[in-house]
Chain A
Amino acid sequence: MQTTKNVLVEIEDLKVEFRLHEGTVHALEGVSLRIPQGRTLGVIGESGSGKSVTAQAIMGIIPSPPGKIVQGRVRLYLPENGSERVVDVTELPPNGAEIRQIRGKEISMIFQEPMTSFSPVHTIGDQIMEAIRIHYPEVSKKEARERTIEMMRRVGIPRPEQRVDAYPFQFSGGMRQRAMIAMALICHPRLVIADEPTTALDVTIEAQILELLQDLQKEFGMSIMYISHDLTVVGGIADEVVVMYLGLVMEQAATDELFDNPLHPYTQALWRSIPTIDGELERLSPIRGALPSPFAVHKGCPFYSRCEKRIPGVCEVSRPPMIEVRPNHWVRCFLYSE
């Protein structure tokens, strides 16, 4: 079992482009990251950072066309009968049997908007148990239903015996998100990708959902990739955090390290620009400028135009490499190169 390195997913130098009529969007410009087994990787990013595209690449669901994986690998290390199976998602046909065996069974996803993620014409229960019916055809309908009820109880849906036959519109937003989690976990996947799962929810409900995810992780031992634009939320749930900006990983470190000791100018600026509930109440220092056009091509650091610590003649000329400034704390910035 030495080979697993405790890594479940390894993304290596992934480049994804979207060729639109208006031009080419370089959604990912060489992203590398690892999702450790049984732990939570938080991914922080604004719109256009590529955080959701990264998730789509892992699931093998990049819409194509217009999307296209230009280079890179997405390897899944799946333990199987004591040994390990390595699957490269980028090499699988997008709708082939193999990737469909992985989706829903090994990897599942929780979306931001639980209303649109459920079909309005089927009961919640039918939709949750669909994954069992697909991946475990030997399981009887009765047993699938029992497992569904059990999972609904586990995610905190009251009276699951009755609500298994309810329709999505009969659920509140928070309950729908719980049902969504039940659906994602019903086959006990190794990885759950949560793409802004609480953004549409109220803060008190958000706290409930986050706690639930953490409890379920303890119980089932799955890895979580938690994607959000909200640093404070990610800070509360992740073990390790990746900060993305315009298709690149800018900084990566353990959560406490990243929050207490942010190194990249973007991360630092982001920290200073958000109002907090418990920090000092001083004037916010905004990041100047706006996100560049999604069609822009960046030869150097994509944050150059907004960076307050940039080195003209260096940063815009070539792309800074990832540097391990402190143990396990990686930064993509020339400030830290020799």
Chain B
Amino acid sequence: MSTQISKPAEQRLGNDSPPANSTLVDELEDLSIGAIEERLEAVSERFYYASQWQLILWRFQRHRLAVLSLILLVILYLLAAFAEFFSPYLATSRFTGLQMAPPTRIHIFHEGKLHRPFIYAPQRSLDPETFRYIFVEDTSTPYPILFFTQGEEYKLWGLWSANLRLFGTGPDAPPIMLFGSDPLGRDIFSRTIYGARISLTIGLLGVAISFVIGVIIGGISGYFGGTIDEVIQRLIDVIISIPLIPFWMALSAALPRNWTTVQTFFAITLILAAVNWTGLARVVRGKLLALREEDYALAAQVAGASKPRIIFRHLLPGFTSHLIVSITLSIPVAILGETALSFLGLGIQAPAVSWGVLLQDAQDLMVVAQQPWRLIPAIFVIGAVLLFNFVGDGLRDAADPYST
């Protein structure tokens, strides 16, 4: 055969089938194109029958960084979901005598001999010149790190009592504090993982709420058009033009101080969503307006399809992929929002833990100079935001599988 296919790819099939009545063409057809087509079909069968979501998945998979980021995000959310299991201690457990301790070092050599991973007990003493605590390791006894060990009692998701922890040092050994401790002697690693729970879910929940508001308002705007559209768009203009931080501050300052953690949590989520929905509403409206003019929407109308069918069967699937991208990209905004509010002392309040609360604890200059480990939660904030952006980027490229 003269024609070889260099790669099974997004290509059209090299054959228009013959016109209905032409026998000449039929005859010739069998000679050549049929054979080529068969080969082509065998190679790219999968592609021809692929639906939109399969195409998006295939394109997304080509985006290495996005796939990696997605995996890391899933791990992050697993950590948050099973915080009790992954963290060695409760967020509130205090270790007296170990306030402001630096990250515990993990050793594998004891007295020159290879040993399973272990830690030494920290000894605190006061530096006579600077009057600062210094920690030295008491190298006499190694305390091995235990995996799947019994630790402090906890209630998983407030439902089941358990005490299994991924790792720990056992009841009589000194604590393992991977990220060091805070002035109250609490393990920052455990607190970071517990904090992820609030910080990461507030992003999801906040965006879920803005999604609902955004789709409804954007849908109304794009579907009805005209004056309603004009009013809504100007309203969005006004909301967008409000400076974000002062607006949030004003709203959260209005929250009653005696609310429970859960109440505050939902209130903060709503406050974040109150601004976040505008972007989504714009996306929905713009896409609706654009797609309404698409020939296939007209074709559906000519076919006799009802308005709801046109919207839900033809238009909405046309931009769900874009919506997912917008959502992915607005989650980090909500996470940063929570962090910013809590950092300013206006969001989540202690004793609840979030990344913002942890950073608020660490917000004075002395900390940066003397206990830099207390800023480790900031790395998590940056990391989570970056990961979401990478995933969003990959999704954006994959979202429209028909663009090329």
Contact = CB atoms under 8 A, between A and B. Distances in A.
B29 A288 contact: yes
B14 A289 contact: yes
A327 B22 CA distance: 37
Interface stretch (A186-194, A214-222, A229-237, A293-301): A293-301
Given A299-B2, A300-B2, A290 B15 contact: yes
Interface in B9-68: 9-16, 18-19, 22, 25, 28-29, 31-33, 36, 40, 62
A292 interface: yes
B400 to A, nearest CB: 15
Contact of B11 (A295, A297, A301, A305): A295
B7 interface: yes
B3 A286 contact: no
Contacts of A22: 7, 9-11
Contacts of B7: 22-24, 295
Contact of B31 (A290, A293, A312): A312
Given A22-B11, A288-B25, A296 B4 contact: yes
A296 B12 CA distance: 11
A299 B14 CA distance: 16
Contact of A290 (B1, B4, B12, B32): B12
B366 interface: no
B130 interface: no
A312 to B, nearest CB: 7
Contacts of B15: 289-290
Given A286-B19, A288-B18, A288-B29, A293 B11 contact: yes
B3 A296 contact: yes
Contact of B33 (A24, A289, A308, A312): A289
Given A288-B28, A304-B32, A305-B33, A293 B5 contact: yes
A291 interface: yes
Contacts of A286: 19
Interface string A274-297: 000000000000101111111111
A21 B397 CA distance: 13
A177 to B, nearest CB: 26
Contact of B9 (A23, A289, A290, A316): A23
Question: Chain B's interface: helix, strand, loop or mixed, by majority?
Answer: loop
A308 B27 CA distance: 11
B227 interface: no
A289 B29 CA distance: 8
A316 B1 CA distance: 7
A295 B19 contact: no
B3 A298 contact: yes
A305 B32 contact: yes
A290 B14 CA distance: 6
Nearest to A292: B14
A326 B22 CA distance: 34
B9 A292 contact: no
A295 B28 CA distance: 23
A317 interface: yes
A305 B36 contact: yes
Given A289-B14, A296-B5, A296-B14, A308 B19 contact: no
Contacts of B4: 296-297, 299
Contacts of B14: 289-293, 296, 305
A311 to B, nearest CB: 12
A292 B25 contact: no
Nearest to A291: B14
Nearest to B35: A305
B6 interface: yes
Interface in A195-246: none
Contacts of B12: 290, 293
B2 A289 contact: no
B74 to A, nearest CB: 26
A298 B14 CA distance: 13
Contacts of A315: 2
A289 B16 contact: yes
Nearest to A304: B2
B130 to A, nearest CB: 59
A283 to B, nearest CB: 10
A295 B6 CA distance: 6
Contacts of B33: 289, 305
Contacts of B10: 22
Contacts of B28: 288, 308
Contacts of A292: 3, 14
A293 B40 CA distance: 10
B126 to A, nearest CB: 64
B245 to A, nearest CB: 34
Contacts of A290: 12-16
A24 B4 CA distance: 12
A299 B6 CA distance: 12
Contacts of A305: 2-3, 14, 32-33, 36
A296 B32 contact: no
A291 B13 CA distance: 9
Interface string A92-129: 00000000000000000000000000000000000000
Interface in A304-334: 304-305, 308, 312, 315-317
A301 B3 CA distance: 10
The 8 A-B pairs of least Cβ separation, nearest first, read A316-B2, A22-B9, A23-B7, A290-B16, A292-B14, A293-B11, A300-B2, A288-B25
27 contacts: A22-B7, A23-B9, A23-B11, A24-B6, A24-B7, A286-B19, A288-B16, A288-B25, A288-B29, A290-B12, A291-B14, A292-B3, A293-B5, A293-B11, A295-B6, A295-B11, A296-B4, A296-B5, A296-B14, A297-B3, A297-B5, A297-B6, A298-B2, A299-B2, A300-B2, A305-B32, A316-B1
Given A288-B22, A289-B16, A293-B14, 20 more contacts: A22-B7, A24-B7, A288-B28, A289-B15, A290-B12, A290-B15, A293-B40, A294-B11, A295-B9, A296-B5, A296-B6, A297-B6, A298-B2, A299-B3, A304-B2, A304-B3, A304-B32, A305-B3, A312-B31, A315-B2
Interface of A: 21-24, 286, 288-301, 304-305, 308, 312, 315-317
